[in-house]
């Protein structure tokens, strides 16, 4: 069952980039997996990848016409987040605008929440 995009939303730029990346994909279930894992200098890191099969633990939703998979343990960290795609002189990529993050590291790839700081690690990419 596909849910409403209450957990994460996608900007038009992110949705357009994902459509471009998956345009030749024959599997109709292809979507964006978004997850959170322990790591980074602030405690948690974001992960994203293209996925064609949800797991029984996934929340499946549609955001801006794109199927999105979020595992149950990541839901509380991502609730209300917006995924964007930016293309600047410094580089291009997907970013997460997360209202639950109260701090982020200088390299911008990890965060912590008010309730849980995770276990900080080095900021190496």
What CATH number does residue 29 fall under?
A: 2.60.300.12
Is residue 3 included in any domain, yes or no? Answer: no
Is residue 87 included in any domain, yes or no? Answer: yes
Task: Provide the CA 51 distance to its chain's centre, in angstroms.
Answer: 12
Instruction: Give the range of the structural domain holding residue 95, as residue numbers without chain letter.
Output: 8-113
Residues 60 and 82: their CA atoms lie apart, in Å, by 16
Considering the chain, what is the average pLDDT of its residues?
A: 83
14 and 64 Cβ atoms separated by less than 8 Å = yes
Is residue 86 included in any domain, yes or no? Answer: yes
Strands (E) in the chain, as ranges, are: 8-10, 31-38, 44-51, 58-63, 66-71, 81-88, 91-97, 101-104, 110-113
What pLDDT was estimated at residue 2? 61
Q: Count the domains in the chain.
A: 1
Is residue 125 included in any domain, yes or no? Answer: no
Confidence band, pLDDT 50/70/90 cuts, at residue 125 = very low
Residues 106 and 11: their CA atoms lie apart, in Å, by 24
pLDDT, tens only, 12-43: 999 999 999 999 999 989 999 999 988 766 67
């Amino acid at each position: 069952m596909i849910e409403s995009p209450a957990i994460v939303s996608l900007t038009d730029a992110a949705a357009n980039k994902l459509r471009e990346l998956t345009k030749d994909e024959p599997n109709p279930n292809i979507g964006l997996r978004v997850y959170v894992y322990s790591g980074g200098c602030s405690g948690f890191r974001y992960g994203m990848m293209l996925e064609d099969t949800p797991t029984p633990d996934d929340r499946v939703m549609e955001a801006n016409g794109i199927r999105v998979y979020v595992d149950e343990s990541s839901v509380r960290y991502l609730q209300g987040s917006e995924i964007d795609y930016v293309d600047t002189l410094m580089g291009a990529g997907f970013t997460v605008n997360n209202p639950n993050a109260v701090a982020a590291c200088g390299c911008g790839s990890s965060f912590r929440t008010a309730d849980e700081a995770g276990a900080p690690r080095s900021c190496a990419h």
